[in-house]
Amino acid sequence: MKTDRFPYETSRWSNLPEQAKRWFEELETLGPQNVRARLAQTDAGSAGTIAIGEMQVLTIGFAQEWLAWHDQKRDALEAERHSQHVFWTRFAAWAATVAAASAVIVCAWTIFHK
């Protein structure tokens, strides 16, 4: 279900695929932080338009949908990193436990066999 590219062709905010492609490319050029900052400057609703980057008219809903898609990608990446971090932390704890148990066994072996 996750896509590597924003599905601008299926956006409900543009009926023209070529227009949606231009909007998508402009948003990609600007990046999520700049788009978020520009959207914060308007009080218009999703059906309204905004001038952003080199686009004089871009539907706010399209930009919001694109931004939500970017946020979902970022969240999925962070969740994957977190899972890997937890795995390696558990592995390190397990390895340290095995090393400590080995040291205790060797010490006990040495003490009892002298």
CA distances to 25, 26, 47, 64 from 10, rounded to whole Å, are: 15, 17, 16, 14
Give the pLDDT confidence score for residue 71 in this predicted structure.
Answer: 93
Please give the model's pTM, rounded to 2 decimal places: 0.68
Give the pLDDT confidence score for residue 27 in this predicted structure.
Answer: 93
Residue 66 identity (one-letter amino acid): W
| Residue with the two structure tokens 């008219």 | 57
CA distance 75 to 64: 16
CA distance 6 to 11: 9
Q: What is the pLDDT of residues 2-14, one digit of tens each?
A: 568 888 888 888 8
Q: Which residues of the chain have pLDDT under 50?
A: 1
Give the pLDDT confidence score for residue 55 in this predicted structure.
Answer: 81
Give the pLDDT confidence score for residue 1 in this predicted structure.
Answer: 45
CA distance 78 to 85: 10
* 3-state SS class at 58: strand
Terminal alpha carbon distance of the chain: 65
Give the pLDDT confidence score for residue 2 in this predicted structure.
Answer: 54
Q: What is the pLDDT of residues 27-39, one digit of tens each?
A: 999 999 999 999 9
Give the pLDDT confidence score for residue 18 in this predicted structure.
Answer: 86
